[in-house]
Amino acid sequence: MRCPFCSDENTRVIDSRPADDGSSIRRRRQCDECSKRFTTYEKVEAIPLVVIKKDNNREPYDRSKIEAGVFRSCHKRPISVDQMKALVDEVETAIFNMEEKEIKSSVIGEILMDKLKDLDAVAYVRFASVYREFKDVNTFMDELKKILDTKK
């Protein structure tokens, strides 16, 4: 493992333990050259996943796209970065637990919306308005009514 501070290749593991979520190993390392410490995470390499887009094009799964959508929808909301990362982790776990080689983007979107609905109603509506491509105010209001009806 290359040191992120001095780029030396001689580093050693000084502590190893399961990460909080249990799906990875957290390792504390120390560089033999500069003596600085840093943390790495080791995960099992997952099956390559292909996402089928609305236009039937296929592209490799990219976690950063889900993160970007979540961060945009949670912008200026009282939601911590840790909560957003946990939500993305939950969505990703749900996707990979399906054990499919290909998954439709609509399935990912629905899973994400279900998780966002539980986290923050405003973030949910923001995401839904882009994801479901609301064409006018009436479709937007219909979605808001659904949320209000479930809260009663």
Kindly list the averaged pLDDT for each block of 10 residues, start to end, along the chain of length 152: 94 90 87 95 79 95 94 94 94 90 93 92 86 72 76 63
Q: What is the pLDDT of residue 103?
A: 95
Per residue, what are the HEC states of 51-98?
EECCCCCEEECCHHHHHHHHHHHCCCCCCCHHHHHHHHHHHHHHHHHC
**pTM for the complete prediction?**
0.62
Q: What is the pLDDT of residue 27?
A: 94
Q: What is the pLDDT of residue 59?
A: 96
Q: What is the pLDDT of residue 152?
A: 60
